[in-house]
Amino acid sequence: MNDMRQMTEKGRAIEDRSFAIIDEEAGAHEFPPAEWQIVRRVIHATADFEFKSLMRVHPRAAAAGIRALRSGCPVIVDVKMITAGLSEERLAAYGCTVRSFISDADVIADAKKGGTTRAVEAMRKARREGVLDGAIVAVGNAPTALLETVRLVKEEGAKPALIIGVPVGFVSAAESKEAVLGLEIPSIVAAGRKGGSPVAVAVIHALLLLSAQNPEKGGAVIA
């Protein structure tokens, strides 16, 4: 595996030890290898072993995410906190860019005029800009962004490559995730109220690391 982690030798040793502790304390599970790499990185980012039972990983999600990243897909995020946590160097290695529209002036104006939310209008702008199809959509904060993504898929035929639905919260968070699970599009979801931008970042970084495995063979081991 190519080591894409931007760490010193000491830092890598600490991270490796952390994952060894997670593997030991998590115990038996039924996640295939690639899916476990995603789940364990979420646990690592949160120190919360409950995510072992909360994560829902579509059988085609890892492969879809790897394929999209290697094709240089855009990564559409609901909030800039996710952008801040992502490794620009890792994404740039594949030609991927991160797009966030939530602070755009026209998005804010449309949300005020239409009585919606900035998160909803941001996803609509992503659709208008033509960057939603084939993209990885990562929602870590705003359930309304996730619900709008579902609507765009169902009603307008949007076709993101992968939806990462991990918004945290009490209003519509759990419901928005259940709505994503009802789609045919591959998804990675944290069921219930828990989630957040750090979880979204952890999932994307796990996919980036998976994408670096066996590149000469065209893919990571995803079975």
Active site residues: 44
- Alpha-helical runs (H) found in the chain: 9-26, 33-46, 51-54, 61-70, 80-85, 88-92, 105-114, 118-128, 143-156, 173-181, 197-211
Give residues with Cβ within 8 angstroms of 45, minimum separation 6: 198, 199, 201, 202
The answer to whether the CB of 29 falls within 8 A of the CB of 53 is no
Q: Which two tokens mark 217?
A: 């063979």
Q: Say which amino acid occupies 25.
A: E
SS3 150: helix
Give residues with Cβ within 8 angstroms of 215, minimum separation 6: 2
| Beta-carbon-side half-sphere exposure of residue 86 (alpha carbons within 13 Å) | 29
